Homo-oligomer: A and B are copies of this chain.
Amino acid sequence: MTTTDRPTAAKRDTYTPETLLAVAVNVFNERGYDGTSMEHLSKAAGISKSSIYHHVAGKEELLRRAVSRALDGLFAALEEPRAQRGRAIERVEHVTRRTVEVLMAELPYVTLLLRVRGNTQTERWALERRREFDQRVADLLKAAAADGDLRADVDIRLATRLLFGMINSLVEWYRPHPDGGAEQEQLVDTVVRMAFDGLRTG
């Protein structure tokens, strides 16, 4: 599905809210949420605006659904058994690994989440949820430090920011390959190793 300027009447509406979302998230990422009108969405989907309104109340609902998909994936990782049980250092490593995996699996949705600016209520809600997620990871790092498993000379707030800085930078260049399973696993391993063990040999 690419953005075209062809007449919107050309296509029968075979969308579901989910497939429409896949079109919308790409338009949001290309033009920015603020810069996207219902007209742009209608052109990209190849259906009329009223057909879109048949599925969703408007572009803010599409934004909410799109960022929810990213946030649900991230928060679900925090509830997994390996994020809940065991030493904090193992739990935070698991969450780091799963965060990278969710980013790769839901790339356009996480990209959109990371670009949200806070001009609308939905954007502010998304920012708030992001901060909540970051705080949960910071809490795990704090617990790992209390266990003596984290370097004492590192400020946790700073470490959390740098960890997410490293992870989130993937949206700038990572593009999935059809047969990229091994490549993806290597990428996840490298992020976790670099963050927790560093690049230097033992």
Contact = CB atoms under 8 A, between A and B. Distances in A.
Q: How many copies does the complex hold?
A: 2
Interface string A154-179: 11001101111111111011000000
A57 interface: no
Interface residues of A, number: 38
A105 to B, nearest CB: 19
Interface of A: 89, 141, 148-155, 158-159, 161-170, 172-173, 186-187, 189-191, 193-201
A200 to B, nearest CB: 5
Contact of A198 (B155, B169, B195): B195
Contact of A190 (B158, B172, B197, B201): B158
Contact of A158 (B149, B161, B172, B187): B187
Given A159-B199, A196-B198, A165 B154 contact: no
Nearest to A156: B199
B195 A141 contact: no
A196 B199 contact: yes
A128 B8 CA distance: 40
Given A162-B169, A168-B169, A154 B193 contact: yes
A197 B194 contact: no
Contacts of A141: 199
